[in-house]
Amino acid sequence: MDLHWTAERMTGEDLRAVSAIEQASFRDPWSLQSFQTEIETNPLAFYLVARREEKVIAYIGAWIVQDEVHITTLAVDVQYRRRGVALGLVKELISRVASSGACCLTLEVRPSNTAARRFYEKLGFVVLGRRKFYYADEDALIMTKNGLRLPEDLEERKKR
């Protein structure tokens, strides 16, 4: 069942919790300082956290580059996965950047990251190509989605 949580802009106070989820979620995690640099100095960056009863349970980041929303990161605390949180965060990101006039979403993902690939495919992303040696040990798949509308069944799925 989906959880109740709220989406808020990421601030410096969230960084320790974000970093803990990051460390538990990725083979090559970003440092806390990387997130800090993003939220404090990158004018193109847009980062949100999902908060449940004061606790950060997930986050998403994007760069709004001209008409493209490039998702830089997305992770959910392992305890809260498969409960619609990532889907809700993507929806929230889309609704907050829609007025920028963006026309498409892009991201890089590891070919071996089956969960993320399934997740993005469900949202209507398709594989556009491959970036050689993007990660230290693996290429990246470039995934893209034209338009900001999600498939209808996902649009209707509500946060509870």
Ligand X SMILES: CC(C)(COP(=O)(O)OP(=O)(O)OC[C@H]1O[C@@H](n2cnc3c(N)ncnc32)[C@H](O)[C@@H]1OP(=O)(O)O)[C@@H](O)C(=O)NCCC(=O)NCCS
Indicate which residues carry an active-site annotation: 108, 120
Task: Quote the DSSP letter at residue 77.
Answer: -
Q: Which is nearer to ligand X, 100 or 113 (CB)?
A: 113
Question: Could you tell me the smallest distance in angstroms from the CB atom of residue 32 to ligand X?
Answer: 17
Q: Which is nearer to ligand X, 48 or 99 (CB)?
A: 48
Question: Could you tell me the smallest distance in angstroms from the CB atom of residue 78 to ligand X?
Answer: 8
Q: Give the Å distances, CA to CA, from 46 to 58, 62, 75, 86, 132.
A: 14, 5, 15, 16, 26
Q: What is the contact surface with ligand X in residues (CB under 6 A)?
A: 25, 74-76, 81-87, 107, 109, 113, 115-116, 118-119, 122
Question: Could you tell me the smallest distance in angstroms from the CB atom of residue 47 to ligand X?
Answer: 14
Q: Which is nearer to ligand X, 101 or 132 (CB)?
A: 132
In sequence order, the 6+-apart residues with CB closer than 8 A to the CB of 71 are: 60, 61, 62, 90, 93, 105, 106, 107
Q: Identify any residues that bridge with 127 across adjacent strands, giving them in sequence order.
A: 143
